[in-house]
Structure 1
Amino acid sequence: MVILAAAFAVSAASGGAAVYVGRDRLVARLSEPSASGLECTALRTLKLDHRGQRWIRMHVKTDSAAGPERVRTALRVVGAFAKKERADLYQVVVLDAAGPEERAAVRGAAIGAEVLFAPGPQSVKGMGEPFRASYNDGTANPDGMFHGKLVSLGLDEVHAIMAKMDDHSLCIDPAAAEAEDAEAAAVSESSEHPAESAEAHGGH
């Protein structure tokens, strides 16, 4: 995890040691409502060429939520994006709605949950398994920072969570929505002035 976080220039350290809880306890905590996580908003998507591999990093935001809900959200989003675009490594980082938006500030206590997914883990250095998933068990302070302990999920817990999901949607993307609105407005304007549009296309 440390190797990959360094490669992404994102530190998953929160100031507390990683806590590995018993399977029964973790499953009980993750069996709460909202099996597919929460609605989220995409902050940015970065597509990187790393030594001939394609890596995709996503930063998303959610409203105040418990750690298990944040990691379920990250797992849903990474699964949905993997179906949409091919990559060697996917990373989804969940931030609080009040958290930082600058790329350089997405590290440490700003990270509420994080998921790494490598379809072929043997080809990605540091990934012995397809998934690495963790969340901060603290609640966000007014600045959107988390100061709890880091809880890491085992591969069996990840599979159990994803098997229960009934929603496989991505986050709301404000930039994409604006682009669609602009395109719709252009089409509408063109349809209102068909003669002018035809003349323009005819080059007269």
Structure 2
Amino acid sequence: MKGLLNIFRPSRKLALVFGGILVFCGATGSAAVYIGAEKLLGSTFRGANGQKCTEVKTVLIKKKDRQWIRKYVSTNGGDGLSRLKTALRVAEKTFEEQKPDLVQVVVIDDDGPKDRANMRGHAIGADVVYIPDPSRVPEVEGADVFTARYIDRPANESGLFYGEKIVVPSEDVERIAALMDDKFDCAKPDGAPETAAAGGHGGDAHAAPAEKSSGHGEPAPAEAGGHG
């Protein structure tokens, strides 16, 4: 119950400074559906490592001695839980290779929008935030190690997701992660995927010219979709 309450009352500060990553309901105002281990783990053993994916864009946020990474990746089909596993796998692989203080992986559909302004709202099919050591991210007091959610329906013909928002408690995400036996990154398309650097307060990088900003040096929110 404690894990559910922590997720239900997310840090407003983190939502503002890192693109609304804990406010999965976005601007729709619709309520998220919480799902427990008894439903999740029954299907976790099938396709435990998620799906193949393609890297679309990476945003680096440098704040003095800290680094946050947001990755946008795309998948082809699959259900919501498989998209979540994909995001989780890539988040852990990214941490393993780069050791950032916070990783967010956003999963979109292969047929969905790929430009910065539109990779939000209904374009998002799953989203995982991984904070290995919450004490390293003072902006997120009391944050869980994992914040994870997905849309329970497949993308439509335009690559957009409409359905219930499923929020998975952090402790259940850890159990799913423990079942993964092959943590691999997404494929990189021909030509390196776009990478933007955004400096935080006191950071040594500057926001890329085309990157929308929240007004504090960080990229603007990546809002998630809701009921259609």
| TM-score relative to the length of structure 1 | 0.79
SS of the residue aligned with 2:122? Answer: helix
Cross-structure match for 1:8: 18
Q: Is the 8 A contact 2:48 2:176 kept in 1?
A: yes
Q: Does 1:46 align with 2:59?
A: yes
Name the CA shift for 1:90/1:35 in 2 (closer, same or farther; >3 Å): same
| Number of residues of Structure 1 aligned to a counterpart in Structure 2 | 177
SS of the residue aligned with 1:112? Answer: strand
User: What value does the CA root-mean-square deviation take over the aligned residues?
Assistant: 2.1
Q: 1:7: how far off?
A: 2.1
Unaligned runs of 5+ in 1: 179-204
Superposition pairs for residues 34-73 of structure 1, below 5 Å? Answer: 34-50=47-63, 52-73=65-86
> If you compute each CA radius of gyration, which structure gives the higher value, 1 or 2?
1
The range that moved more, 52-61 or 119-128, is: 119-128
Q: 1:83: how far off?
A: 0.6
Q: Is the 8 A contact 1:10 1:106 kept in 2?
A: no
Unaligned runs of 5+ in 2: 1-9, 194-228
Name the CA shift for 1:97/1:10 in 2 (closer, same or farther; >3 Å): farther
In 1, distance between residues paired with 2:104 and 2:170? 16
Deviation by residue 1:14-38 (Cα, 9 ceiling, x = unmatched): 643111123312322x425211000
Identify the structure with the greater helix proportion: 1
Name the CA shift for 1:64/1:6 in 2 (closer, same or farther; >3 Å): farther
Superposition pairs for residues 175-194 of structure 1, below 5 Å? Answer: 175=190
Cross-structure match for 1:110: 123
* Structure with more relative contact order (C-alpha pairs < 8 Å, separation 6 or more): 2
Name the CA shift for 1:175/1:52 in 2 (closer, same or farther; >3 Å): farther
Cross-structure match for 2:179: 164
Deviation by residue 1:137-183 (Cα, 9 ceiling, x = unmatched): 121111111111111111221111111112111000115679xxxxx
The range that moved more, 146-155 or 70-79, is: 146-155
* Aligned residue identity for 1:174: P
Q: Does 1:97 align with 2:110?
A: yes
Cross-structure match for 2:35: 21
Q: Is the 8 A contact 2:45 2:179 kept in 1?
A: no
Identity of aligned residues (%): 37
| TM-score relative to the length of structure 2 | 0.71
Q: Is the 8 A contact 1:10 1:107 kept in 2?
A: no
